[in-house]
Amino acid sequence: MIGSATPDPASEWPHEDSLTDVWEDFLVNHGQVSAKKNVRGLVLNSWQRSLCGGVNPGIMVAPITAQEQELIILRDRNRELMDSAAEIMRQAFFVNELQSVLFLTDPNGVTLDVIGDKRTLSHADTINLVPGSAWSEVISGSNAVGTALSNQGAVQVHGEEHFCQGFKTWTCTASVVRDPYDGHILGVIDLSGLRNMFDRFHLPLVVSWATHIESRIALRSLEMWSKLEESMANRGWQADTTLLFDASGRLVNRDRRVADVLARHGLAPAGTRTFRVNLSAFGQTAGTPAEAPEWLRPEWIDVVRERGEMIGFSVSFPSPGGGAAQARSQLRQKPEDPFDRIIGRSPALLDVVDKARRVAPAPIPVLLLGETGVGKELFAQALHEAGPNAKGPFVAINCAAFSRELLAGELFGHVEGAFTGARRGGMIGKIEAADGGTLFLDEIGEMQIDMQPMLLRVLQERQVYRLGEVKPRKVNFRLIAATNCNLAVEAKAGRFRQDLYFRIANVTIEVPPLRDRVDDIAILAQHFLERTVAEYKLPRRRLHPDLVAHLETLVWSGNVRELAARIEAMCFMARAEVIGLDDFEPGLSQQGPQAAPPPPCPQLLEQAERDVMRAAIRQCEGNLTAAARVLGIAKSTLYLRLRKYRDNGLWEPD
């Protein structure tokens, strides 16, 4: 499950000296610690597991459990994890600035790869923090990797919190990496350094890296599944009798017929989403491997290869009217594709649709980018309907349409009496309403920055608190967000939280503007004409070729939405069946030949913002709280903007 790692609860780290005394007291008293002692419960539980596991607290180095040959085999066995983490592991320059090391382990805590700045790597060598070293709790005691595996989440273990003496000079932050298919742990990513480099920000950073790796695994799986399905399509198959599994034994075709096939053979009728079978041995040996399930017959299985590489397996069950051979000869029935509702044939659009279609089945967040009116919500709907939560609700909310207080209530819901004007009996929020389905946050770039940690917490912990409520409610939804601004630039400038950006931008899809889709204007215009005539039962209408040619010369600043509105208006206003140039009234888009609109001048935009802020503050006689309310922004946002302009010498007091 993407992003399923739950960070260690925030709490105050105790003073190093006091922890040393607690640790010594813990060892002397054989695992007993006074209730008044200042030690985190997570750490105390880890110490107790280490002690019960027989770990020597005097250990100074981690043991090497995978020597050169074993390490080669181990890396090959975890190739998907390592390849998916390669982009993160290449961020050596970033780790250098943190004076830390970044390393990846397998699901047993054995190090696969280590990178970092030379000085910290030399320190790491002294404790055997090298490829092949083992960091599970039962081997190396309490440490971020081992404790993350034990807690199946994300943790920080700092300084004296380590169980073994040799690691107490280090601070470590780790998060498990899960298989997006069924949520089992594939490995751990860890950021470590000497304890003077401790920073709480490392926790959300490492969690975002783990999420990114999970997203890459999901995308790589989807690409392989596409190859597998394409290869099988040339043979002819259908899900009624033939199931497809990838090389890892994960079920590929998941439509509603799969459950019926499995149920007929008494197999997991409700668990098709995570149905997995060990088929790997069929690629190398003849006959049925000892670890294969009893219900699986060798004659049902075909190995699917592409250019000599095994990419998966087909399992052809005997059909009710014939054998497995007959099942293989049946043609696959193609289900309805929700992306077919996105109209256009231009290469720019087709490339984006193809990317969206490939990512749709993955349960990972998607960020839709594009100018106003390009059709981002249409893409969001298609992603939902082609996604794993298609049977659940699609809940949309525009973050720019509400003030901070109203948006918080709309998103998180509230209990009765939570604030002035709260609805009697309370109200369910959009997040809770999206449980089991998809939450679409349009214009997420307009969300107030002080609200963003609340959303981040929901995404990380998969639970939501209604306003005024202390009991969390579990939620499981897919997030699709959209914006018409450059969130990467906004995050770098501090106007959007970087940790939230990393969380929601695992996959970005940029919908092209209409000016880059000139070939689609005629098709779209005809579609909107037919839709308007049918919806309002208007007399027959046709577009004159000269009008269509003229529409193709315009700069549609409002994109597809503007074109739809203009066609609709002409359908009502036209004097005859054929709508011509005489029926077209010049508007904002009639700006001559096709040309990209000039970018706004940042200096002019900032001056306009300063003028509006100054007017609001003057109107409220210097009361910033009241001024923020007038401006419709959070008080903290107003403070940040003022500080920015003052620091840059751009704010002159009245």
H or E stretch at 368: strand 366-369
Tokens encoding 275? 């149905």
Q: What is the DSSP letter of 248?
A: T
Contact 195, 158 (CB under 8 A): yes
Contact 448, 440 (CB under 8 A): no
Segments of the chain scoring below 70 in pLDDT: 1-17, 34-37, 92-93, 233-241, 254-275, 278-299, 306-309, 317-336, 417-425, 586-609, 630-632, 634-636, 640, 647-654
CATH superfamily of 16-220: GAF domain (3.30.450.40)
Question: Parallel, antiparallel, or unpaired for β 111-116 and 170-178?
Answer: unpaired
Per the rule left: phi > 0, alpha: psi between -120 and 50, beta: everything else, 287 is left
Nearest to 364 by CA among 506, 176, 209: 506
How big is the chain, counted in residues? 654
CATH code that applies to domain 518-583: 1.10.8.60
CA 149 to chain centre: 22
Residue extent(s) of CATH 1.10.8.60 domains in the chain: 518-583
Q: Where in the chain is the domain with CATH 3.30.450.40?
A: 16-220
Question: Cα–Cα distance between 293 and 304 in angstroms, integer?
Answer: 20
Nearest to 105 by CA among 126, 85, 121: 85
pLDDT at 404: 79
Q: Distance between CA 587 and CA 591 in Å, rounded?
A: 8
CA 593 to CA 327: how far, in whole Å? 58
**Which tens digits make up the pLDDT trace of 1-20?**
344 444 444 344 555 657 88
Three-state secondary structure readout of 419-445: CCCCCCCCECCHHHHCCCCEEEEECHH
In the chain, the largest separation of any two C-alpha atoms, in whole Å, equals 96
Give pTM, 2 decimals: 0.50
Reported as a single tens digit per residue, the pLDDT across 511-535 is 999 999 998 999 999 989 988 988 8
> How far, in Å, are 53, 57, 148 from residue 46 at the CA level?
10, 13, 10
HSE on the CB side for 419, CA within 13 Å?
Answer: 10
| Region(s) of the chain under CATH 1.10.10 | 603-647
The predicted pLDDT at position 259 comes to 63
Instruction: Provide the pLDDT for residue 94.
Output: 72
CATH 3.30.420.60 holds for 339-510: no
Per-residue confidence (pLDDT) for residue 31, from 0 to 100: 78
Q: For the chain, give the percent of residues with pLDDT over 70.
A: 77
Alpha-carbon span 79 to 220, nearest angstrom: 12
Per-residue confidence (pLDDT) for residue 621, from 0 to 100: 75
For the domain made up of 603-647, give the CATH fold: Arc Repressor Mutant, subunit A (1.10.10)
- Which amino acid, one-letter code, is at 101? V
Q: How many of the other CB atoms lie within 10 Å of CB of 519?
A: 14
Helix (H) or strand (E) holding 525: helix 518-536
